[in-house]
């Protein structure tokens, strides 16, 4: 099967882990007899340097014509002094919005050989296995106005949601819960925010269409605590944009490292953008020590969600599992014994374990 994939390496470690993704893609193509057309485009800080914008028109056009998109990471100190509207992160938010990728799926799955790397291991039964679903194109990250006032001394951000935006993400969450353990936790701040009260209403209405799914509402502060004290209580979590951004980073400690978490940003027709949850990590960029597994597991999600190639997705996940079991680990995993491997060595280990 031939697929056209856009690569957006972005900034910092994004470039290093994109090289890992390419290596795994090429290995999967030759192992399973596929051919992929890979085309690189600019986004984020490196696009600002080259084209004076974090999201060039050519990138939007190429992504709009692709079967799927892989993204590394965006951001870095170099662009920190720019106003919010011109920062690298605007490129990432802009491409999600331009493509209508409203559902961000963040599976938090522990690998047994890494369990002792999690500071929360005694709370985890059989390794963690949670699917966090984050609304991705609404809420505070997109509401207008978002601006400074009173000569820079006052500021406004706007949290806006329309019922339709909540309905489609909540529907996706119910469908996902149906494919897993039939339990959905909806996270909000309904004791304070009007937007959360509408969110809760929509979840309760939608639940009538899914009588086989048990629904629980949690306030975001309680959810943050429960996530790390009783993680085995969760199956699928659904929440708005900013709460989902924060909770999924928090949940990464359950797996041992933020570097392990993949994500899929999808819309209803299967087109998707796949990226690790972590950012550009400027402190380690260029040193060849970044953990490529969040990126590689995002490639697996691309095979599963955009190409319906479950065998290929499972083969990549199995290869990651195998190389961790063989004792390969990058520095972020803090495994204490032995020597950590580089980004390139970890990628090579995954490729060597990749079999039909």
Of 15, 97, 109, 189, catalytic:
189
Among 43, 68, 70, 89, binds ligand GGG (CB under 6 A): 89
Q: Is residue 7 within 8 Å of 18, Cβ to Cβ?
A: yes
Interacting stretch for ligand GGG, rule CB under 6 A, among 67-75, 142-150, 177-185, 203-211? 67-75
* Interaction of residue 332 with ligand GGG, rule CB under 6 A: no
Give yes or no for residue 316 binding ligand GGG (CB under 6 A): no
The reply to whether 141 belongs to the active site is: yes
Handedness of CA 62, 65, 69, 73 (dihedral sign): positive
CA 248 to chain centre: 8
Q: Which of 49, 204, 205, 221 is catalytic?
A: 221
Query: Contacts from 334-343 at CB under 8 Å and sequence distance 24+?
Result: 334/117, 334/256, 334/257, 335/116, 335/117, 340/289, 342/288, 342/289, 343/13, 343/16, 343/17, 343/19, 343/20, 343/288, 343/289, 343/290, 343/291, 343/292
- The catalytic position among 141, 161, 328, 329 is 141
Q: Residue 177 CB, nearest distance to ligand GGG (Å)? A: 23
10 appears as a binding residue in the annotation: no
Q: CA geometry: angle at 48 spanning 45 and 51, to 5°?
A: 145
Q: Is 274 a catalytic residue?
A: no
For the chain, the C-alpha Rg in angstroms (whole number) is: 20
Closer to ligand GGG at the Cβ: 75 or 292? 75
Question: Pairing between strand 183-188 and 236-239?
Answer: parallel
Query: Could you confirm whether 188 is annotated as catalytic?
Result: no
178 assigned to a ligand binding site: no
275 touches ligand GGG (CB under 6 A): yes
Among 188, 245, 317, 332, binds ligand GGG (CB under 6 A): 245
Residue whose Cβ sits closest to ligand GGG? 73
Distance CA 246, CA 186 (A): 15
171 is catalytic: no
Beta bridge partners, 156, equal 147
The residue within the footprint of ligand GGG, chosen from 43, 92, 254, 264 (CB under 6 A), is: 92
DSSP state at residue 138: S
How near is the Cβ of 245 to ligand GGG at its closest, in Å? 5
Q: According to the binding rule CB under 6 A, does residue 276 interact with ligand GGG?
A: yes
The closest of 268, 94, 60 to 164, measured between CA atoms, is 268
Q: In angstroms, rounded to a whole number, what is the distance separating the alpha carbons of residues 145 and 158?
A: 6
Asked if 73 interacts with ligand GGG (CB under 6 A), we say yes
Q: Find the shortest distance in angstroms from Cβ 339 to ligand GGG.
A: 27
Q: Which is nearer to ligand GGG, 129 or 245 (CB)?
A: 245
Maximum CA extent, the chain: 62
| Residue ranges binding ligand GGG (CB under 6 A) | 73-75, 89, 92, 245, 275-276, 279-280
Query: Where in the sequence numbering do the catalytic residues fall?
Result: 141, 189, 221, 245, 249
| Residues that constitute the known binding site | 76-89, 96, 106, 134, 221, 245, 249, 279-291
């Amino acid at each position: 099967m031939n697929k056209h994939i856009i690569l957006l390496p972005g900034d910092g470690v994004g470039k290093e882990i994109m090289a890992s993704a390419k290596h795994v893609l090429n290995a999967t193509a030759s192992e399973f007899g596929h051919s992929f057309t890979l085309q690189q485009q600019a986004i984020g800080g490196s696009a600002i340097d080259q084209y004076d914008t974090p999201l060039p028109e050519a990138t939007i056009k190429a992504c709009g014509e692709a079967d799927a998109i892989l993204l590394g990471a965006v951001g870095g100190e170099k662009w920190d002094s720019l106003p919010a509207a011109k920062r690298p992160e605007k490129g990432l938010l802009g491409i999600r919005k331009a493509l209508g990728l409203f559902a961000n799926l963040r599976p938090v799955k522990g690998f047994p050989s890494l369990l002792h790397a999690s500071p929360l291991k005694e709370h985890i039964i059989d390794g963690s296995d949670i699917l966090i679903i984050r609304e991705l194109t609404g809420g505070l990250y997109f509401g207008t106005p978002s601006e400074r006032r009173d000569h820079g001394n006052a500021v406004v951000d706007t949290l806006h949601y329309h019922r339709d935006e909540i309905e489609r993400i909540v529907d996706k969450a119910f469908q996902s819960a149906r494919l897993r353990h039939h339990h959905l936790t909806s996270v909000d701040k309904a004791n304070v925010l009007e937007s959360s009260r509408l969110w809760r209403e929509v979840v309760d209405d939608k639940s009538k269409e899914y009588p086989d799914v048990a629904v629980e509402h949690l306030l975001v502060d309680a959810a943050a605590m429960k996530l790390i004290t009783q993680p085995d209580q969760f199956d699928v979590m659904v929440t708005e944009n900013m709460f989902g951004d924060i909770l999924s980073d928090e949940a990464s400690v359950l797996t041992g490292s933020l570097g392990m978490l993949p994500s899929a940003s999808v819309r209803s027709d299967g087109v998707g953008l796949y990226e690790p949850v972590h950012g550009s990590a400027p402190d380690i960029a260029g040193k060849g020590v970044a953990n490529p597994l969040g990126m590689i597991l995002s490639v697996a999600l691309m095979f599963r969600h955009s190409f319906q190639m479950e065998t290929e997705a499972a083969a990549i996940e199995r290869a990651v599992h195998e190389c961790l079991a063989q004792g390969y680990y990058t520095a972020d995993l803090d495994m204490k014994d032995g020597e950590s491997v580089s980004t390139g060595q970890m990628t090579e280990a995954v490729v060597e374990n990749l079999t039909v």
